[in-house]
């Protein structure tokens, strides 16, 4: 049995115990997070000391087993970051990276000595292409380097990790000799990385199986995977390596890292947790920290998380399709294999858009506090679909404004049917307006001092009245250039005041609706005193 592998008795808890396949024993997988080292090597992803300390704190709190805090020889700033993280760590092993050079190893040992549990992680290339073109060394010379540097590291600290850079393009016989030398000199963890993201899962699994079978005393070390995502296989390869006997996974938050990045920590953790039926492993990670850690790393690195990113992306627990929304409302497991709250997401989001169905729309209205009858619901749903065709994102505020506007115009005798506005620097501005007045469609064309004035003049031309405009106010309901505008208009006449609201992605249309709404309300209030106050011509 591998050293320090924890055995947990009893079944792993799946989301739904009725569909769970119980495993009687589960082995712990160590999570080695290299966000602060490999992740920071992404071009443009450099982080400040304070940002690194904050990220290290949340990694330590969420249960990461080993935090690779940096590359101490790279700069004084990196040395300071590794040293400070080592001093502050409460639970995690703190590792520093070192090339197979004495100065690197000594500097790394100096940085991690402050940790309650420190590690030196040293590496050297082993593939023919690296030996020939990068190192200009023979195989025997590299074996001597491994013996020398692992021994030097072990003399400084008990916990030493050795990595064979470009292991997946290294002949298996030579790789066995390198691993054997590292273990013989005291390496406690052996990392066989897919440095350039070249391997496939079957190949990667087979490599670990062969190394562990052929290398003497291989059971004295923990084997580790470190996969890059050049072919999009980093997570799949990492899990395949575990199936081949590795018990440490090196990964980063959001998959941040060189070129196409590393295996994403959040995907590894949730894959193991969700598919415990075929992967009898556990990690120490508390998944409720995943989204929070993702946002922190994204903010510090300046690398936005793509909307469709697994686990932590904005759309990971969002559903717009009417079929999907209908299933989600009946049983969340129809389209979700994880609970959003398990990874730190407040709740599933039923995104309201042009693909949403009536069931989801009705449920959203109830959530917003609207209980509409069948006819009103049908009218509101039609307007919602029209709105969704015009703008990319329909927010709760959009729906509230839309329904409130619908409720306002229901039963009104005067309505806006069509509006065309001609505006610009040349002037004069012109509005061509068609209104429904007591069932009669009337069209008028008017000019004005600006498009809003022209629109209001057209309304007055169709429905003459003496009311004065005492308030005109516009605000965007949501963000963006396609935001829905909500307009408020207040009219006064004969000591009476009426306020109307209108909403539309076109501010002028919203303005016309608001004005007509206020006009209708004012007419109703004036009927007792002057029934003919507002008449169409």
3-state secondary structure of 376: helix
Alpha carbons 425 and 148: distance in angstroms, whole number: 79
What's the pLDDT score for residue 290? 93
Alpha carbons 24 and 188: distance in angstroms, whole number: 28
Q: Are 378 and 410 in contact (CB under 8 A)?
A: no
Alpha carbons 511 and 475: distance in angstroms, whole number: 11
Q: Which two tokens stand for residue 137?
A: 């060394």
Interior/surface letters 384-408, b for 16+ CB within 10 angstroms, e for the rest? bbebbeebeebbebbbbbbbebbeb
CATH superfamily of 414-527: Alpha-isopropylmalate synthase LeuA, regulatory domain (3.30.160.270)
Q: Are 260 and 224 in contact (CB under 8 A)?
A: no
425 secondary structure, DSSP code: S
Cβ contacts of 531 within 8 Å, gap of 6 or more:
none
The pair phi, psi for residue 236, each rounded to 5°, is -60, -45
- Beta strand 429-437 pairing with 414-422: antiparallel
Neighbours of 144 (CB within 10 A): 12
Cβ contacts of 352 within 8 Å, gap of 6 or more:
320, 360, 361, 364, 384, 388, 394, 395, 396, 398, 399
Interior/surface letters 438-477, b for 16+ CB within 10 angstroms, e for the rest? eeeebebebebeebbbbbbbbbbbbbebebeeeeeeeeeb
Alpha carbons 221 and 7: distance in angstroms, whole number: 17
Q: Where exactly does CATH 3.20.20.70 map onto the chain?
A: 27-301
Query: Is the preceding omega at residue 428 within 30 degrees of 0, hence cis?
Result: yes
What's the pLDDT score for residue 53? 94
Q: Counting every residue, how long is the chain?
A: 537
What's the pLDDT score for residue 347? 55
Alpha carbons 115 and 92: distance in angstroms, whole number: 9
- Please state the residue numbers annotated as binding site: 38, 226, 228, 262
Alpha carbons 131 and 134: distance in angstroms, whole number: 6
What CATH class has 27-301?
Answer: alpha beta
Give every strand in the sheet of 468-476, ordered side by side. 468-476, 485-493, 496-504
Q: Are 477 and 401 in contact (CB under 8 A)?
A: yes
What's the pLDDT score for residue 252? 97
Q: Are 39 and 74 in contact (CB under 8 A)?
A: no
Element (H, E) at 32: strand 30-33
Q: What is the pLDDT of residues 102-139, one digit of tens each?
A: 999 999 999 999 999 999 999 999 999 999 999 999 99
Which residues in the chain come in under a pLDDT of 70?
1-25, 316-337, 345-355, 367-369, 390-398, 400-402, 404-412, 477-482, 524-537
What's the pLDDT score for residue 535? 35
- Kindly give the residue spans of alpha helices, DSSP state H, lying in 101-138: 102-112, 128-130
252 secondary structure, DSSP code: B
What's the pLDDT score for residue 346? 61
- Please state the residue numbers annotated as binding site for Mn(2+): 38, 226, 228, 262
What's the pLDDT score for residue 398? 67
Angle of CA points 297, 302, 306, to nearest 5°: 80
Q: Where exactly does CATH 3.30.160.270 map onto the chain?
A: 414-527
What's the pLDDT score for residue 4? 36
Alpha carbons 280 and 28: distance in angstroms, whole number: 9
């Amino acid at each position: 049995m591998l050293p320090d592998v924890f055995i947990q008795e009893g079944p792993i808890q799946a989301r739904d115990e009725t569909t769970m396949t119980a495993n009687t024993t589960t082995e712990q997988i160590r999570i080695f997070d290299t966000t602060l080292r490999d992740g920071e090597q992404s071009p443009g992803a450099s982080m400040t000391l304070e940002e690194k300390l904050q990220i290290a704190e949340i990694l330590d709190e969420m249960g990461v087993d080993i935090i690779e805090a940096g590359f101490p020889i790279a700069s004084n700033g990196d040395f300071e970051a590794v040293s400070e993280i080592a001093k502050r760590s409460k639970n995690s092993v703190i590792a520093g990276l070192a090339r197979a050079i004495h100065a690197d190893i000594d500097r790394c040992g100096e940085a991690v000595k402050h940790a309650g549990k420190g590690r030196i992680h040293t590496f050297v290339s082993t593939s023919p292409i690296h030996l020939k073109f990068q190192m200009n060394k023979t195989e025997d010379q590299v074996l001597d380097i491994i013996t020398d540097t692992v021994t030097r590291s072990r003399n400084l600290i008990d916990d030493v990790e050795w990595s064979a850079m470009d292991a997946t393009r290294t002949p298996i016989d030579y790789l066995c000799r390198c691993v054997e030398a590292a273990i013989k000199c005291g390496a406690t963890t052996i990392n066989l990385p897919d440095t350039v993201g070249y391997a496939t899962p079957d190949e990667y699994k087979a490599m670990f199986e062969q190394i562990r079978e052929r290398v003497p005393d291989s059971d004295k070390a923990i084997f580790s995977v470190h996969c890059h995502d050049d072919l999009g296989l980093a997570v799949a390869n990492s899990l395949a390596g575990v199936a081949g006997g590795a018990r440490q996974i090196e990964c980063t938050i959001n998959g941040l890292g060189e070129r196409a990045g590393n295996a994403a920590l959040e995907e590894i953790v949730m894959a193991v947790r969700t598919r415990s039926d075929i992967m009898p492993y556990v990690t120490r990670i508390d998944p409720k920290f995943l989204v929070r850690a993702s946002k922190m790393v994204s903010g510090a690195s300046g690398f936005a998380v793509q909307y469709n990113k697994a686990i932590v992306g904005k759309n990971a627990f969002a559903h717009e399709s009417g079929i999907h929304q209908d299933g989600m409302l009946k049983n969340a497991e129809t389209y979700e294999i994880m609970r959003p709250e398990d990874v730190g997401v407040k709740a599933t989001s039923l995104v309201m858009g042009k693909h949403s169905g009536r069931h989801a729309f009705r449920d959203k209205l109830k959530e917003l506090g609207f209980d509409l009858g069948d006819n009103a619901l049908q009218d509101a749903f039609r307007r919602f679909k029209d709105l969704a065709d015009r703008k990319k994102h329909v927010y709760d505020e959009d729906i509230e404004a839309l329904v409130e506007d619908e409720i306002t115009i229901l039963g009104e005798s005067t309505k806006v049917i069509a509006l065309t506005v001609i505006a610009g620097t040349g002037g004069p501005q012109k509005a061509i307006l068609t209104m429904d007045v007591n069932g009669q469609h009337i069209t008028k064309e008017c000019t004005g001092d600006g498009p809003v004035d022209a629109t209001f003049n057209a309304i007055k031309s169709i429905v003459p009245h003496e009311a004065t405009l005492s308030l005109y106010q516009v605000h965007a309901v949501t963000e963006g250039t396609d935001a829905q505008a909500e307009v408020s208009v207040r009219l006064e006449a004969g000591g009476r005041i009426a306020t109307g609201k209108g909403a539309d992605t076109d501010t002028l249309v919203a303005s016309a609706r608001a004005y007509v709404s206020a006009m209708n309300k004012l007419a109703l209030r004036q009927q007792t005193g002057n029934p003919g106050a507002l008449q169409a011509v």
